[in-house]
Amino acid sequence: MSRAAPLLPREDAREAALFFVVCALCFLAAFSGLIARAAYAAAEAWTTEVAGEITIRVRGPEADTQRAVDIIALTKGITSARALTREESEELLKPWLGGAGVPASLSLPRLIAAGGAAGAGDAVAAALKKANINATVDDHETWSADARRVTGTIGLVALCAIALLGATGIAVIAFATHATMLARRDIVELLHLSGARDDFIAGLFERRFLMLGVKAGALGALLAFGTAAFILFAVRQTDEQAWLLPQLSLSLADGLVLGLSPLIAGAAAMFAANLTVKRSLSDMV
Amino acid sequence: MPDNDHSRDEPVLRLDRVGLSYGPKSDVLADVSLSLRPGSMTFLTGPSGAGKSTLLRLAYLALRPTAGRVSLFGVETNRLRRRDLAPLRRRIGVVFQEFRLLDHLSAYDNVALPLRITGRPEASYRKDVTDLLGWVGLGDRLDARPATLSGGEKQRVAIARAVVGKPDLLIADEPTGNVDEEMGERLYRLFRELNRRLKTTVLIATHDMALVRRAKNDVLRLAEGMVVRVPLDQREGQP
């Protein structure tokens, strides 16, 4: 049986407090990561969904609608075109007018849904104008660009938050390592005077803080996962379509974000420990 | 334990006009020169506050002098880089005045510490450490934590730790300061046996003049920042 005991004493209250802080930072970082990824995923999904979709609203006589469909179908770059039925138009208005239905006397906008290549909207507008049909063409480009810009900003803010949390984590760990070293200066000095090399002494602290970072990071990531899962569950229970939340899917990529947290926390802790210990040792002869 | 081989006459420790100060008017050591020949056993005496511990700290490379040169095993240490000092430190065993045992480690682990830092596997030194603790009379206290040991037992663990790596130079700072006269005598015999059996050069700082008079070893006296050798017939009186 090996008698060798760890050269550093077991964790004390200081390290328990540090564990809590690193865990909280990792939770916030992992959750921010999930939000950032959700924002990108949302932007991607929305823009993909509407890309190539063109909606045409026809004003003027009823006969213009079918004439417009024929013209649009023949326009270069268009792959499909059809007029929406009254039922489909009512369905689109349901969020505003309710499910009681629209009075038959109320005239609805006449809409045409067309599909085609990006940029085909301009050709459709030109063709309708040439045919003297009063219509509005919307290829959703403005909306898509706005959506991409907003979600991109959200993603950037989340990434900045992660970077800030990471830097804070490293600073906190460096401070805690320094405090731990001061508290255990007797051990460090004894090892140093016994002929231990700096790498050996730094290695003791590196391993200690690596494990602390990995454990705290894993717990923080697990809590972030639990929180995200709870939000998903709550949203699905209420059957409401929140703006971003449906994209918080906890997919493989989300798992990667969560899995990286303990590794990054551990590496940051190890790096901070190495730097702090070696700087403190350099003060000794 | 195999004997240390000091085939050369080169001093194990040499201080050449060494000074140490913490400011313009705060000289701890003014002009200290001394030389320890291989296999010698020397007492360093002097009044309290004379700088004995500081001189020892210079000798075991815990401090650098502000003037003069410190040489160990023929190597001038002043100009060595930090990382080059570690191998020299491994050739020195130190018995610190306040023991400096690690409270969370057993007597066995405390003694094994200098060997662990060399990266040796535990199996290669387990018997040596166990035998050494038996030799200092603590064979039945291997697993005892320092908090459960008496002052004399702690001192013997500290001595065992200092010699476990078979150092070429053993430095002890007031090793009998915290023990009674009988234990002091036993510890002295331990040092003498190490000196004779392993040919380890021993430097002991002490203010125990009774022990110094009985021992009849070389004596250096540190006072007013300087060291003088004390002849055998002048060892009466104050330290």
Question: DSSP assignment of A133-177, as one string?
Answer: --EEEE-SHHHHHHHHHHHHHHHHHHHHHHHHHHHHHHHHHHHHH
Structure tokens given for B46: 């002097």
Q: Which among A26, A5, A34, A29 is positioned nearest to A269, based on CA atoms?
A: A26
Helix (H), strand (E) at residue B171? strand B169-173
Chain A contact for B116 (CB, 8 A cutoff): yes
Residue A22 C-alpha, separation from nearest chain B C-alpha, in angstroms: 26
CB contact under 8 A, A285 and B61: yes
Residue B56's region, left for phi above 0, alpha for psi from -120 to 50, else beta, is alpha
Give the pLDDT confidence score for residue A249 in this predicted structure.
63
Give the pLDDT confidence score for residue B3 in this predicted structure.
43
Q: What residues does each domain of chain A span?
A: 13-48+151-280, 52-139
Residue A173 C-alpha, separation from nearest chain B C-alpha, in angstroms: 24
CB contact under 8 A, B113 and A198: no
Burial annotation A168-182 (CB, 10 A radius, 16+ → b, else e): ebbebbbebbbebbe
Give the pLDDT confidence score for residue A247 in this predicted structure.
54
Give the pLDDT confidence score for residue A246 in this predicted structure.
47
Q: In sequence order, which ranges of chain B are alpha helices (DSSP H)?
A: 52-59, 82-89, 107-116, 126-135, 151-163, 181-198, 209-215
Chain A contact for B80 (CB, 8 A cutoff): no
Residue A170 C-alpha, separation from nearest chain B C-alpha, in angstroms: 27
Give the pLDDT confidence score for residue B2 in this predicted structure.
39
| Residue among A3, A194, A198 minimizing CB distance to B89 | A194
Q: How far is CA B86 from CA B60, B76, B80, B111, B114, in A?
A: 11, 14, 10, 19, 12
What residues of chain B lie within 8 A of the CB of A192, using their CB?
A: 89
Nearest residue on chain B to A7, alpha-carbon basis:
B105
Q: Within chain A, which residues score under 50 in pLDDT?
A: 1-2, 244-246
Give the pLDDT confidence score for residue B215 in this predicted structure.
78
Residue A158 C-alpha, separation from nearest chain B C-alpha, in angstroms: 44
Under CATH, what is the fold of the domain A52-139?
A: Alpha-Beta Plaits (3.30.70)
Dihedral, CA of residue B4, residue B8, residue B13 and residue B19, to nearest 10: -170
Sequence-distant (6+) residues with CB within 8 A of A7 are A187, A191, A204, B102, B105, B113, B116
CB contact under 8 A, B87 and A282: no
CB contact under 8 A, A195 and B102: no
Q: Within chain B, which residues score under 70 in pLDDT?
A: 1-8, 232-239
